Chain A
Amino acid sequence: MPLLSVRDLQVDFTTRNGRVTAVNRIGFDVEAGKITAIIGESGSGKSVACYSLLGLLPVPPASIESGSALFDGRDLLQLSERELRQIRGRDIAMIFQDPMTCLNPYMTVGNQLMEPLLYHRKVTRQQARARALELLAEVGLRDPESTIDQYPHQFSGGMRQRVMIAMALINEPKLLIADEPTTALDVTIQAQILGLIAELQRKRDIGVIFISHDLSVVADIADEIVVMEKGHVVERGDRQAIFEAAEHPYTQKLLAAIPAGSKAPGEVPRDDLIQVRNLCTWFSQGRGAEPLRAVDDVSFTIQRGEVLGLVGESGSGKSTIGRSLLRLVPVTRGEVLFDGTDVTSLQGTALKQMRRRMQMIFQDPYASLNPRMSVYDTLAEPLLLHGIESRKTVEQGVLRLMDDVGLARAFVRKYPHEFSGGQRQRIAIGRALATRPEFVVADEPVSALDVTIQAQILELMLELGREYGLTMLFVSHDLAVVRHIADRILVLYKGRVVEQGTGDALFNSPREEYTRQLLQAIPGRGLL
């Protein structure tokens, strides 16, 4: 008998515009000792389904219309809030996506770990502390004795996620629900956390529900895969069946969206548009302290029309390089030649002129658009500022940009919050292209997006790159994505370039140890 058996579950939301069925009569089983992955895009209902089981949805607007969820002989959907509270955190535990916001910044990690133990079981503080130490060691935290009394901000993202996992496991749950637990993490850290979850699951023989938007993440660890689309379960099967013989077109689409292969090699070499020589960008860390060497003596060139990929983990300085080229952060030393002009010393009008020629696309389409400006205002601003369109023609210019980035013209008066992540990124791309730049820095432009949307945006960027004759610096932590779009790749580690070459060269014969580690960490390597 399965550990959890969900049948006929339907969850509706009452919104201003009427009722929406978020989860439509779905069913799935979770076996003890197995990892069941639920895969779907945002809005597919994958999280709603799991949250509804634990009574974690706000009612109203949510309402559970039908269904049953047998867990340990009891129907979770029939339990009272009191009974559910007994189960939450003891028999069923959760790990969330963002380990930063899920830990209380004003409580030590140790106290937070001990809290569920003290709440659910009769133990003394000493016993709880001993148990917490044990678990911190188990999830791979070095030196638990000294870290247990630290605060969350003293931990890195990966370490915080380990703490979250320890917290989830402290009451020996039978079922662990992990909601996109690695989406906010670097690739190498992601690989470690995935490994940890798989290892703990084997060792404790518990059931795991792993929610993700990305098939490749679960390619190595899932036993069973449930694919959801628009509230329906469209396909269900073991890992092999899904990856090798997916039947439903949506599953096939998800598989096809996994970036694979390298870009075809470029044509004849052309002249260099950008020459970066001995670039150093250091950040002061207060008086007397050593400056943080975010970018340390980096040199490279980008040819006209080339897409250069910049790969590294958080803290490698990859975003800072992009921002240094665009003069968004002050450069400490070195030269950035743009078409022969040193950008680092420009001022006033000359700088404004230069800004027109180089633009940036940001990572987070939720933060990079002014929430109080409609699409029209956002796109019209650069057009008018640089005199590209006059007041009379600006409207046509805005509409043309919307056509170029694939946004329906009817959306012109809408505000950013009315768009999905992918559509927002299209607006941001449109804004960057509005000034007709020659050079664009794209800083993780697809990291915040669902896999299928990611594929669309990458295609759009490649296409517009050709159309506008763009030279691009494509910054990402994801090697597979970079390989797909870039002509050449630089690998960055701690502010320095450790290796560079074409995508194929890096993938097939990496010279440096660090590059090898990065390649190892790519989830679902077998799929590439």
Chain B
Amino acid sequence: MTAANLTSVAQAEQGTSLWKDAWRRLRKNRLALFGLAVLTAFILIALLTPWLAPYAYDSQNLDLGASPPSAEHWLGTDIFGRDLLTQIMYGGRISLAVGFVATAVALVIGVTWGAVAGYVGGRVDAVMMRLVDILYALPFMIFIVLLMVVFGRNLLLLFLAIGAVEWLTMARIMRGQVQSLRQQEFVEAAVSLGLSPATIVRRHLVPNALGPIIVYTTLTIPSVMLLEAFLSFLGLGVQPPATSWGLLISYGAETMEEYPWLLIFPGAALTLTLFALNFLGDGLRDALDVRGSGD
């Protein structure tokens, strides 16, 4: 046995080799790296917005009104003379936060719920999934309006409310995956080794179900962002002068014929995020699939 061999074995021992391998493979995928770079940049900008933004988010210039892109206002201004770049930067904070936090909430609840229901099966599964069905059947708007009325409007609640709705589909996907995986002999092998059910789910089932989950996650993030826009539009989400991409887009759409830049720039920001997410999601799915690698 050579020294090189020994080191690679020693590295393997440091656990989480699945993620390490995945990262190694992801690095070879240019599109995914581009997606990752764009997202990282957007998140950094969002975090640093209070220091980076050229204007205050509530500063108006009513004399200026809506103006196209210029040297002072790179992306132009809206009808109140507010700087669009500033608005997009502040809006990104809300949109990205809603997108990621609500999706993370959905991911954690959905994957856990679905995995448990799928693995335990029987009566537990029936009860857990009927609960999901009931929540599905509940009109979503009423649910949110109710939450807002009871607890008052606040951003954190908005995150939780959206997350609490989005996890349902995630749970169903996960349950289906786990049900088909649990028939496989390697799960039986794990049982006969004496592993506990929790370990089997964590080590043997969840990693094998990641593909569809990741793809669905990357689809959930933009749909959550649009959902937030819709709620804000109805007056249930963020309110002016605070803003979000979804809100900017919906205002921009109203004045699209006179002031097209008000739609184009926020739309471009959302589209770019969406592209980046999809590239990264596809890349992650391939990177996590050990079979797809040409080492």
Contact = CB atoms under 8 A, between A and B. Distances in A.
A353 B5 CA distance: 34
Contacts of A363: 185
Nearest to A375: B12
B188 A371 contact: no
A391 B13 contact: yes
Contacts of A362: 185, 188-189
A231 to B, nearest CB: 23
Interface in A213-231: none
A301 to B, nearest CB: 22
B8 A413 contact: yes
Contact of B189 (A376, A410, A417, A431): A431
A270 interface: no
Interface residues of A, number: 45
A370 interface: yes
B195 A359 contact: no
A431 B194 CA distance: 12
Interface in A399-414: 399, 409-410, 412-413
B191 interface: yes
B153 interface: no
Given A370-B208, A409-B5, A415-B291, A328 B192 contact: yes
B50 to A, nearest CB: 42
Contacts of B192: 326, 328, 355, 358-360
A412 B186 contact: no
Contact of B9 (A323, A359, A364, A399): A399
Contacts of B294: 16-17
B207 to A, nearest CB: 4
A386 B189 contact: no
Contacts of B70: none
Contacts of B190: 370, 381
B264 interface: no
Given A363-B185, A381-B193, A395-B13, 20 more contacts: A328-B192, A358-B192, A360-B189, A360-B192, A362-B189, A364-B185, A367-B184, A368-B189, A370-B204, A371-B208, A372-B207, A376-B12, A385-B195, A395-B10, A399-B1, A412-B5, A412-B8, A417-B291, A428-B189, A435-B194
The 9 closest A-B pairs by CB, nearest first: A355-B194, A368-B185, A352-B194, A362-B185, A415-B290, A372-B207, A367-B185, A417-B291, A370-B186
24 contacts: A16-B294, A351-B194, A355-B194, A358-B192, A362-B189, A363-B185, A367-B186, A368-B186, A370-B203, A370-B208, A371-B291, A372-B288, A373-B18, A380-B13, A381-B193, A382-B193, A382-B194, A385-B195, A410-B5, A413-B8, A413-B9, A415-B290, A415-B291, A417-B290
Interface of A: 16-17, 323, 326, 328, 351-353, 355-356, 358-360, 362-364, 367-374, 376-377, 380-382, 385-386, 391, 394-395, 398-399, 409-410, 412-413, 415, 417, 428, 431, 435
